């Protein structure tokens, strides 16, 4: 059960709420696998995706989730909307409210933008990624795949390697995984580790080997060239050589360990191409979990709104 109108971040959610989303998502995933895509849980509702940054997985899977649940989906790309004419975020949100829209699913380069908008609109706001802050639905879909493969999250050792400093995925995974009792190890060049991440529960490692040794999950994070100041590391080739995950490093993980990546992947940088395509890789299962988790969130928020 969810106890809120908006889904803004995993920092705010209780362990029970996270577990409830994962349980519902597992049911939705079963439905998707059996071809049930004409559900009516959200019949009569309308959702709008409002993306101020590029996206393939998040935007498309939200649109499919809305449609599979029987609702109507409208897509606004900020680049072709009245935002280009100077309209503010709040004015855009109030305009959608006036049209009786029920959900705003948004991605924004500014940390906190969905939190801000949620205070000014009647619609439920779902965070599809806000700057370097959080990407809660990505972490939930990652946990959905882990829970399905291992039966539970508690006790898992999850190694996260890559651009942690710029990564909202890393932070949401850290909050969610720790709340459900997993160990979260992190490794990256010093320039890509945010200050204070240990205080949030991460175990910082001194080498790739230390991070991956005995891990259940090895997650590569995209090097975010668009958010980097020049000079965080010398070159992509050097990053791949000294910090990327290859088969030799991955062999230190548990024999049944999973390779994960939120995508999009820089092939041969965070992970070697052969690992991305390896049978241990669940990157495409993460994509399916993405539709299921987003269906679960839309469904649980609608249930909450029907209760209050
Ligand atoms: N993982 C993720 O957020 O991918 P997109 O940028 O394609 O949505």
| 262 Cβ inside 6 Å of ligand 1 | yes
Average pLDDT, whole number, for the chain? 95
Cα three-residue angle 129-282-108, rounded to 5 degrees: 10
Mutate which of 51, 52, 57, 135 to test ligand 1's pocket (most atoms within 8 Å of Cβ)?
57
Give the integer Cα–Cα distance in Å for 201 and 182: 10
| Fold match flag (15-134+287-307 vs 136-282) | yes
Enumerate the domain spans of the chain.
Answer: 15-134+287-307, 136-282
Residue with the smallest CA separation from ligand 1 atom 5 is 55
Give the integer Cα–Cα distance in Å for 164 and 168: 8
Task: List the beta bridge partners of residue 124.
Answer: 103
| 138 Cβ inside 6 Å of ligand 1 | yes
* R_g of the chain computed on alpha carbons: 19
175 — pLDDT class (breaks 50, 70, 90) = very high
The answer to pTM > 0.85 is yes
Residue with the smallest CA separation from ligand 1 atom 6 is 55
Any long-range contacts for 187-190 (C-beta under 8 Å, 24+ apart)?
187/159, 187/160, 187/161, 187/211, 187/243, 188/161, 188/162, 188/163, 188/164, 188/243, 189/232, 189/233, 189/239, 189/242, 189/243
Give the integer Cα–Cα distance in Å for 222 and 265: 6
Q: What is the pLDDT of residues 109-137, one digit of tens each?
A: 999 999 999 999 999 999 999 999 999 99
Q: Which atom, in ligand 1's list, is nearest to the CA of 58?
A: 8
Q: Which atom, in ligand 1's list, is nearest to the CA of 61?
A: 8
| 263 Cβ inside 6 Å of ligand 1 | yes
| 274 Cβ inside 6 Å of ligand 1 | no
Mutate which of 129, 160, 266, 291 to test ligand 1's pocket (most atoms within 8 Å of Cβ)?
129
Mutate which of 108, 109, 262 to test ligand 1's pocket (most atoms within 8 Å of Cβ)?
262
User: Cβ distance 67 to 77 under 8 Å?
Assistant: no
Q: Which atom, in ligand 1's list, is nearest to the CA of 56?
A: 7
226 — pLDDT class (breaks 50, 70, 90) = low
Residue-level pLDDT at 86:
87
Please say if the pLDDT value at position 221 is more than 70.
Answer: yes
If you classify domain 15-134+287-307 with CATH, what class do you get?
A: alpha beta
Q: What is the arithmetic mean of pLDDT over 8-20? A: 98
Task: List the beta bridge partners of residue 46.
Answer: 72
Q: How far is the CA of 295 from the centre of ligand 1 (A)?
A: 17
83 — pLDDT class (breaks 50, 70, 90) = confident
Residue-level pLDDT at 88:
93
229 — pLDDT class (breaks 50, 70, 90) = low
Residue with the smallest CA separation from ligand 1 atom 4 is 57
Q: Which fold has domain 136-282?
A: Rossmann fold (3.40.50)
Q: What is the arithmetic mean of pLDDT over 230-235? A: 74
Q: What is the arithmetic mean of pLDDT over 180-191? A: 96
Token pair for 73: 């989906």
Residue-level pLDDT at 296:
98
| 114 Cβ inside 6 Å of ligand 1 | no
């Amino acid at each position: 059960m969810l106890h809120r109108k908006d889904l803004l971040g995993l920092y705010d959610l209780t362990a029970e709420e996270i577990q409830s989303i994962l349980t519902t998502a597992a049911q939705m995933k079963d439905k998707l696998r059996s071809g049930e895509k004409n559900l009516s849980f959200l019949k009569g509702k309308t959702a709008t995706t409002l993306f101020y940054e590029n996206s393939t997985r998040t935007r498309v899977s939200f649109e499919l989730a809305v449609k599979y649940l029987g609702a109507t989906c409208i897509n606004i790309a900020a680049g072709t909307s009245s935002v280009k004419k100077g309209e503010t975020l709040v004015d855009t949100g109030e305009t959608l409210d006036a049209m009786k829209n029920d959900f705003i699913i948004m991605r924004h380069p500014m940390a906190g933008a969905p939190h801000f908008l949620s205070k000014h609109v009647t619609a439920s706001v779902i965070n599809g990624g806000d700057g370097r802050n959080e990407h809660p639905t990505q972490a939930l879909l990652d946990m959905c795949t882990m829970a399905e493969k291992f039966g539970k999250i508690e006790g898992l050792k999850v190694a996260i390697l890559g651009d942690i400093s710029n990564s909202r995925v890393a932070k949401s995974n850290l909050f969610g995984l720790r709340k459900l009792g997993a160990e979260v190890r992190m490794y990256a060049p010093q320039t890509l580790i945010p200050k204070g991440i240990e205080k949030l529960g991460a175990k910082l490692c001194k080498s790739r080997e230390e991070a991956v040794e005995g891990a259940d999950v090895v997650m590569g994070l995209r090097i975010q060239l668009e958010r980097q100041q020049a000079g965080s590391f010398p070159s992509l080739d050097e990053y791949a050589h000294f910090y990327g995950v290859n088969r030799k490093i991955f062999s230190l993980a548990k024999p049944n360990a999973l390779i994960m990546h939120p995508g999009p992947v820089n092939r041969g940088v965070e992970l070697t191409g052969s690992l991305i395509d390896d049978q241990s890789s669940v990157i495409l299962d993460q994509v399916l979990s993405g539709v299921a988790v987003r269906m679960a969130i839309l469904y649980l928020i609608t249930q909450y709104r029907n209760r209050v």
